[in-house]
Chains A and B, each alone.
Chain A
Amino acid sequence: MSTPDRAPPVAAQPAMAPQAAPYSGRLRRLTGSWVPAALIVLVILGVWEGYVRLWAVPKWLLPAPSVIAMTLFVSRGLLLDHTLVTFVEVVVGFGLSLLCGVLLACGIAASRTLERALYPFVIASQMVPIIVVAPLLLIWVGYGLTPKIIVVALTAFFPIVVNMADGLQSVDPDAVNLLRTMGASRWQIFVKVQVPTSLPFLFSGLRVAIAVSVIGAVIGEWVGSSQGLGYLMIRSKPQFLTERVFAAIVMLSVMGVALFVLVGVVEKLAIPWWHNEQRQRSLQ
């Protein structure tokens, strides 16, 4: 009995050593990624819960995290229905802003005249507060999903246009000359050099855009709507259903983070060379 007991450690040792290294590496990667953030959230929630209970803060003033969690569970059907509406507004609005933003950026990058003609309007669109535009849209296009989608698109297209246009214009002139000496047409230079160069810039813009899209959708709903998370918040507040306001905020955050992560995943799939090169550079 004792011999087989003693034998494995000797044999296992060389096998263990290479296993130990990736494990500690994984641990380091965990502590380097989401673990610190999760710890901070846990601490905040703990302090919040303790404060509300110790000082018996009324629910309508500040609900405890446990109460919010209960609401999330009990009203899950209601919350999901409204989340879905907001989700559709965000996704469609974001898609619309992506389409318009990329087209505008191409126009701006392609011609000096177009750049001078379009850029002032792109910037001006951000100077007019969206909260002023939203009620007007309500008057012009009605009460349904359309005005919300337009509000989302208006908030999201700016970072897309600016980043994509910068990317298209930041092309290496030597690379352009190389293609010219190979007899490339302007269109070939655009497709084979300018567009790939601009993609990392575009994705930076998309990550900002998806975050502000969520805000845009809520603003659109606040101004006038009958469904969506923004509407749910507006309606719950005067009813002193503060825990439901918080539950809506949680749903909104989860949706926002999920979409943000999704954009990151698409980016990694679309431009793997960019990430590998960045990693290589950071290692040197």
Chain B
Amino acid sequence: MKQVASEAPPEVWGDAKVRVEGVSKYRLQHGQPFAVLQDVHLYANAGEFVSLIGPSGCGKSTLLNIIAGLEQPSSGTLYLNGRRAEQRLGTVGYMQQKDLLLPWRDVLDNVILGLELRGMSRRLARARALALMEQFGLKGFETAYPYTLSGGMRQRAAFLRTILPEQEVFLLDEPFGALDALNRAQIHEWLLGLWETLHKTIVLVTHDVDEAIFLSDRMYVMTARPGRIQLVQVIDLPRPRRLEMVTTAPFVALKAQILATLRQGPAAEPKDGQQ
């Protein structure tokens, strides 16, 4: 009885919005299997802002693809809302690095894409989107085509498209990578304001330590090749967060610790010599 229970993953587990249990992903390279992700454990509670940070090539994007359902793990289990979820496509909002706005649709019709795919009439979807245009700094650009927009506006349009279907979990893959520092700081504060009104769960992938600390409740630090969780850090800075906090002692202490962990790299992993 006990053995069976430990081999087959349970159907229900906790109440976290997202739970990644022992996920590994192997790919073939030159005919040789190699591990992209190894035994990753991660969760995000309702309304929690979680970041995932790590060097490039540590499988952060692959992990998000797996959570979104674009890829399946080689082993391990995923839970959404505490239930085992084999089929996850269409249940979590996923914003990729590229804004992926469709060039033949204007801004308004781009942002309603998710609603349209769920069968909502265009008229109703447009009305819903129009109500949010101002909050997303897109007012007056409803009928503009993507190529006429600045990078920041394209990013905000992509973000509005992600949140409009009102899923409970949003995965953001380096959404601010293309923005310069000044725009980033502004969009960070704006995003936190929005997140506080939405009460949604966000899993953010980034390679920017400041960004991760400033935004998150908790952050996971990953190692590269194979990607695994090296450190889970609770960010207990008070909310609402202010831009001035980035120079305070607790912030700097957290940053120093995380940077040290990142610098150690996978070489500092003494346990199990499987890889």
Give residues in A with beta carbon < 8 Å to B: 172, 174-175, 177-184, 188, 192-193, 196, 199, 271, 273-274, 276-277, 280-281
| Contact present for B103 and A277 (CB under 8 Å) | yes
Give residues in B with beta carbon < 8 Å to A: 65, 68-70, 89-94, 96, 98, 100, 102-104, 113-114, 116-118, 145, 147-148, 165
Chain B residues near A281: list those with CB within 8 A. Answer: 147
27 interchain pairs (CB within 8 A)?
A: A174-B100, A175-B100, A177-B65, A177-B96, A178-B94, A178-B96, A180-B89, A181-B68, A181-B69, A181-B89, A181-B93, A182-B90, A182-B113, A182-B117, A182-B165, A184-B90, A188-B117, A192-B116, A192-B117, A196-B104, A271-B104, A274-B104, A276-B145, A277-B103, A277-B145, A280-B147, A281-B147
* Chain B nearest Cβ from A148, distance in angstroms: 37
**Who on chain A is nearest to B115 by CB?**
A182
* Chain A nearest Cβ from B142, distance in angstroms: 15
| Contact present for B100 and A183 (CB under 8 Å) | no
Chain B residues near A280: list those with CB within 8 A. Answer: 147-148
Chain A residues near B102: list those with CB within 8 A. Answer: 175, 192-193, 196
Partner of B90, one of A172, A183, A276: A183
How far is A192 from B69 in the complex, measured between Cα atoms in Å? Answer: 21
* Chain A nearest Cβ from B152, distance in angstroms: 18
**Who on chain B is nearest to A184 by CB?**
B117
* Chain B nearest Cβ from A185, distance in angstroms: 8
* Chain B nearest Cβ from A168, distance in angstroms: 15
* Chain A nearest Cβ from B257, distance in angstroms: 34
How far is A108 from B254 in the complex, measured between Cα atoms in Å? Answer: 56
* Chain A nearest Cβ from B274, distance in angstroms: 31
* Chain B nearest Cβ from A77, distance in angstroms: 46
Chain A residues near B90: list those with CB within 8 A. Answer: 181-184
How far is A180 from B68 in the complex, measured between Cα atoms in Å? Answer: 9
How far is A274 from B147 in the complex, measured between Cα atoms in Å? Answer: 10
By secondary structure, the B interface counts as loop
Q: A182-B165, A184-B117 are in contact. Are A276 and B147 (CB under 8 A)?
A: yes
Known: A177-B96, A192-B113. 9 other contacts (CB 8 A): A177-B70, A181-B89, A182-B90, A192-B116, A273-B103, A273-B104, A273-B145, A277-B103, A280-B147
* Chain A nearest Cβ from B66, distance in angstroms: 12
**Who on chain B is nearest to A196 by CB?**
B104
Chain A residues near B103: list those with CB within 8 A. Answer: 273-274, 277
| Contact present for A178 and B100 (CB under 8 Å) | yes
* Chain A nearest Cβ from B35, distance in angstroms: 23
Q: A276-B145, A277-B145 are in contact. Are A181 and B104 (CB under 8 A)?
A: no
**Who on chain B is nearest to A181 by CB?**
B94
| Contact present for B70 and A180 (CB under 8 Å) | yes
How far is A192 from B102 in the complex, measured between Cα atoms in Å? Answer: 9
How far is A86 from B160 in the complex, measured between Cα atoms in Å? Answer: 54
* Chain B nearest Cβ from A54, distance in angstroms: 57
For B65, B91, B93, B96, the residue with the greatest tally of chain A CB atoms inside 10 Å of its CB is B96
* Chain B nearest Cβ from A18, distance in angstroms: 24
Q: A276-B147, A277-B147, A280-B147 are in contact. Are A179 and B104 (CB under 8 A)?
A: no
| Contact present for B92 and A181 (CB under 8 Å) | yes
* Chain A nearest Cβ from B64, distance in angstroms: 10
| Contact present for B96 and A174 (CB under 8 Å) | yes
Partner of A179, one of B91, B117, B148: B117
**Who on chain A is nearest to B65 by CB?**
A177
How far is A274 from B98 in the complex, measured between Cα atoms in Å? Answer: 20
Q: A180-B89, A183-B91, A273-B145 are in contact. Are A172 and B165 (CB under 8 A)?
A: no
Chain A residues near B96: list those with CB within 8 A. Answer: 174, 177-178
**Who on chain A is nearest to B165 by CB?**
A182
Chain B residues near A193: list those with CB within 8 A. Answer: 102
Chain A residues near B145: list those with CB within 8 A. Answer: 273, 276-277
* Chain A nearest Cβ from B172, distance in angstroms: 12
How far is A273 from B40 in the complex, measured between Cα atoms in Å? Answer: 44
How far is A183 from B87 in the complex, measured between Cα atoms in Å? Answer: 10
Partner of A172, one of B68, B69, B100: B100
Chain B residues near A181: list those with CB within 8 A. Answer: 68-70, 89-90, 92-94
Chain A residues near B114: list those with CB within 8 A. Answer: 182
* Chain A nearest Cβ from B137, distance in angstroms: 21
**Who on chain A is nearest to B113 by CB?**
A182
Chain B residues near A179: list those with CB within 8 A. Answer: 113, 117
How far is A175 from B99 in the complex, measured between Cα atoms in Å? Answer: 9
Chain B residues near A174: list those with CB within 8 A. Answer: 96, 98, 100
For B89, B91, B116, the residue with the greatest tally of chain A CB atoms inside 10 Å of its CB is B89
How far is A271 from B96 in the complex, measured between Cα atoms in Å? Answer: 26
**Who on chain B is nearest to A199 by CB?**
B104
Chain A residues near B65: list those with CB within 8 A. Answer: 177
| Contact present for B117 and A183 (CB under 8 Å) | yes
How far is A192 from B104 in the complex, measured between Cα atoms in Å? Answer: 10
How far is A53 from B98 in the complex, measured between Cα atoms in Å? Answer: 67
* Chain B nearest Cβ from A279, distance in angstroms: 10
How far is A273 from B165 in the complex, measured between Cα atoms in Å? Answer: 26
How far is A174 from B65 in the complex, measured between Cα atoms in Å? Answer: 11
Closest 6 CB pairs of A and B: A183-B90, A181-B94, A196-B104, A182-B114, A277-B147, A273-B104
